[in-house]
A and B are shown apart, each in its own frame.
Chain A
Amino acid sequence: GTSLEEIRPTYTYKVVLLGSTSVGKSSLAYRYVKNDFKESLPTVGCSFFTQILNLEVATVKFEIWDTAGQEKYHSVCHLYYRGASAALLVYDIANKETLNRAKLWLRELEKEFLPDEIVIALVGNKTDLAAEREVATEEGQEFARTEGLLFMETSAKSSHQVDDIFMAIAQELLKREQEKTSVLSQRGGSTADLRESRARTRCC
């Protein structure tokens, strides 16, 4: 690599997709990683994706955990969000009930994480189903604003804003990374171990 790459740090982040069944979690991951859309099989347990982003200031490696949506799996799989750096709370804009479920996920994450420990994005998927919309854009936006979440409406099918939401997450994570660094350097601490300090706890 060039000298530029050598000084550019690499960050690995665990990103977890949460939300009701059939809101498009797997399709979002598939669109983002493979830039393609196909009908996904129902996820049983969890499936996994990886994506590398080469940004100007850093290389970002996403480890994406795509969890099962059915509530029955909750008791086995809810701990899959442990150690995550970011979470996408996905709902279906054509199904109001799924937004409520996303809100419940938020409450659960709040129990597990301090606000600065995790980046949370609220994602209203399936904008291609505009005719069947049950949740107004403003409603999602307003909820995200009051809770301090990133917000975007997407369509895994038409590829609308899928890259954008992951990019926004990457930017936010990097911003926080910088803030941490400056706090540490003010205290005269070293930044060298920062990257590896992220704990990786898993369930079961």
Chain B
Amino acid sequence: EYEEKTGRAHRPLSPKQNVRKNLDFEPLSTTALILEDRPANLPAKPAEEAQKHRQQYEEMVVQAKKRELKEAQKRKKQLEERCKLEDSIGNAVLTWNNEILPNWETMWCSRKVRELWWQGIPPSVRGKVWSLAIGNELNITHELYDICLARAKEKWRSLSTGGAEVECEDAGFSAADREASLELIKLDISRTFPNLCIFQKGGPYHDTLHSILGAYTCYRPDVGYVQGMSFIAAVLILNLDTADAFIAFSNLLNKPCQMAFFRVDHGLMLTYFAAFEVFFEENLPKLFAHFKKNNLTPDIYLIDWIFTLYSKSLPLDLACRVWDVFCRDGEEFLFRTALGILKLFEDILTKMDFIHIAQFLTKLPEDLPSEEFFTSIAAIQMQSRNKKWAQVKRMLTFDNR
């Protein structure tokens, strides 16, 4: 019998339309096969089996319908949530624009504003809020930006023509250094958020990023270009006009923590790491001990996080929300965020050895859940034995001398 079946298997199967018509619902093609009669050339199903198949099939349909209903409900709920979110963003934009921004000086440190701030600044006012919060201690004007940019362009020109030495006003910094810096900027621009495709050559913000970084190396030749900066400038460009982005960039980099890192002041960086470890031990003693046991020092993961202000390591929307609160709370929030990340992944990190922890933390999962992430950061206490971040840091600076 087997041979006979296989021998006939190539024959065209009998038409099935009549079977389909008998069904009072439209099944998916694959499940429908269950109800099909066997091809005419094969012996028919026994009645008992046919009955059983029909029953199983009906059960499957019921299950499928249930699932569909659930999915539909879920979609509806998601839609409602999105509408609610959009509403609340809309409301937040109004509050920021009409109430907070016009009264910045008096309102920005109020409790209400601080709370709204934590929720994330709406993208349409984000740049303005960042600018105000970062401030302009350096008194940089748009004109100064133009001057720095003009100087940078001059240097690029003389570099590309292989021309004579640029006048030696940046004495102490060799021409080779400067050249390397300018060359490096070019290389790094194409490697900044490559998947956004806007900073690459030919992209709409390629020249803007180039200009800001070039202008900065002329404004601060003593700092120059340091890898990581391109990411910070890029995030600012996404939220501010060019000259304002430059002003925010220069002022941001002028903050003590950023200066310590971008000038690669090893001693000061160690002070920051040591202060971080005080709060690490306080907040996550078990994980802290595990890291110690594995010789996992904070520089392994903090260098990347602090240098790029998380813009390279977190999804961009989350990074922007970290920046929001960083602008509000200052440097300590960068370290609080680090502890939030460690807390979020405490369970799995505790089970890993050195190399896997290092690997994990320098390449965080791409699908970080934003609410859990911020809940985790919120749970971090930035007080150690009644001492705040700044006090702990000061104490350690003193110790290091």
Q: Across the interface, which residues of A come within 8 angstroms of B230, CB to CB?
A: 42
Which residue from chain A places its CB closest to the CB of B360 in the assembled complex?
A: A48
CA distance A77 to B300 in the complex (A): 9
Q: A44-B308, A45-B300 are in contact. Are A76 and B264 (CB under 8 A)?
A: yes
Query: Is the CB–CB distance between B194 and A41 below 8 Å?
Result: yes
Q: Shortest CB–CB separation between residue A38 and chain B, in angstroms?
A: 8
Contact of A204 among B191, B297, B358 (CB under 8 A): B297
Interface hits, A52-79 → B, CB 8 Å: 63, 68-73, 75-77
Q: Shortest CB–CB separation between residue B323 and chain A, in angstroms?
A: 17
Q: Mark A118-133, 1 if CB is under 8 A from B, else 0.
A: 0000000000000000
Interface hits, B155-210 → A, CB 8 Å: 180, 184, 187-188, 190-192, 194
Q: Shortest CB–CB separation between residue A62 and chain B, in angstroms?
A: 10
Interface hits, A15-48 → B, CB 8 Å: 21-22, 39-48
Query: Is the CB–CB distance between A73 and B359 below 8 Å?
Result: no
A107 at the B interface (CB under 8 A)? no
Q: Which residues of A contact B (CB under 8 A)?
A: 21-22, 39-50, 63, 68-73, 75-77, 200, 202-204
Query: Is the CB–CB distance between A70 and B297 below 8 Å?
Result: no
Contact of A70 among B184, B192, B273, B304 (CB under 8 A): B184
Q: Which residues of B contact A (CB under 8 A)?
A: 180, 184, 187-188, 190-192, 194, 224, 226-228, 230, 264, 266, 269-270, 273, 295, 297-301, 303-304, 307-308, 312, 354-356, 358-359, 362-363
- Name A's interface SS: loop
Which residue from chain B places its CB closest to the CB of A201 in the assembled complex?
A: B295
Q: Across the interface, which residues of B come within 8 angstroms of A77, CB to CB?
A: 303
Extra contacts besides A44-B312, A75-B264 (12): CB < 8 Å = A41-B312, A42-B187, A44-B227, A45-B299, A45-B303, A46-B358, A47-B304, A50-B356, A76-B264, A76-B269, A77-B303, A202-B297
Residue from A40, A47, A72 whose CB has the most chain B CB atoms within 10 Å: A72
Q: Shortest CB–CB separation between residue B159 and chain A, in angstroms?
A: 15
CA distance A46 to B358 in the complex (A): 9
Q: Across the interface, which residues of B come within 8 angstroms of A46, CB to CB?
A: 300, 303, 358, 362
Which residue from chain A places its CB closest to the CB of B176 in the assembled complex?
A: A97
Which residue from chain B places its CB closest to the CB of A202 in the assembled complex?
A: B295
Which residue from chain A places its CB closest to the CB of B223 in the assembled complex?
A: A72
CA distance A87 to B180 in the complex (A): 25
Contact of A76 among B192, B194, B266 (CB under 8 A): B266
Q: Across the interface, which residues of B come within 8 angstroms of A45, CB to CB?
A: 299-301, 303-304, 307, 362
Query: Is the CB–CB distance between B299 and A73 below 8 Å?
Result: no
Query: Is the CB–CB distance between B297 and A76 below 8 Å?
Result: no
Query: Is the CB–CB distance between B224 and A63 below 8 Å?
Result: no
Q: Across the interface, which residues of A come within 8 angstroms of B358, CB to CB?
A: 46, 48
Query: Is the CB–CB distance between A40 and B191 below 8 Å?
Result: yes
Query: Is the CB–CB distance between A42 and B362 below 8 Å?
Result: no
Query: Is the CB–CB distance between B224 and A50 below 8 Å?
Result: no
Q: Across the interface, which residues of A come within 8 angstroms of B312, CB to CB?
A: 41, 44
Q: A49-B359, A70-B226 are in contact. Are A39 and B273 (CB under 8 A)?
A: no
Query: Is the CB–CB distance between B184 and A21 below 8 Å?
Result: yes
CA distance A48 to B300 in the complex (A): 10
Q: Across the interface, which residues of B come within 8 angstroms of A39, CB to CB?
A: 190-191, 194
Q: Across the interface, which residues of B come within 8 angstroms of A202, CB to CB?
A: 295, 297, 300
Query: Is the CB–CB distance between A48 and B264 below 8 Å?
Result: no
CA distance A47 to B184 in the complex (A): 20
Which residue from chain A places its CB closest to the CB of B261 in the assembled complex?
A: A76
CA distance A71 to B183 in the complex (A): 14
CA distance A22 to B185 in the complex (A): 11
Q: Across the interface, which residues of A come within 8 angstroms of B295, CB to CB?
A: 200, 202
Contact of A203 among B224, B297, B359, B363 (CB under 8 A): B297
Which residue from chain B places its CB closest to the CB of A65 in the assembled complex?
A: B358
CA distance A71 to B224 in the complex (A): 12
Pairs A–B under 8 Å by Cβ, sample size 21 = A39-B190, A41-B194, A41-B312, A42-B230, A44-B228, A46-B300, A46-B358, A47-B304, A47-B363, A48-B355, A48-B359, A49-B359, A68-B227, A70-B184, A70-B227, A72-B227, A75-B266, A77-B303, A200-B354, A202-B295, A204-B299
Q: Shortest CB–CB separation between residue B68 and chain A, in angstroms?
A: 39
Which residue from chain A places its CB closest to the CB of B299 in the assembled complex?
A: A204
Query: Is the CB–CB distance between B191 and A44 below 8 Å?
Result: no
Contact of A21 among B187, B307, B362, B363 (CB under 8 A): B187
CA distance A200 to B269 in the complex (A): 22
CA distance A63 to B299 in the complex (A): 18
Q: A42-B191, A204-B270, A204-B273 are in contact. Are A50 and B359 (CB under 8 A)?
A: yes
Q: Across the interface, which residues of A come within 8 angstroms of B363, CB to CB?
A: 47
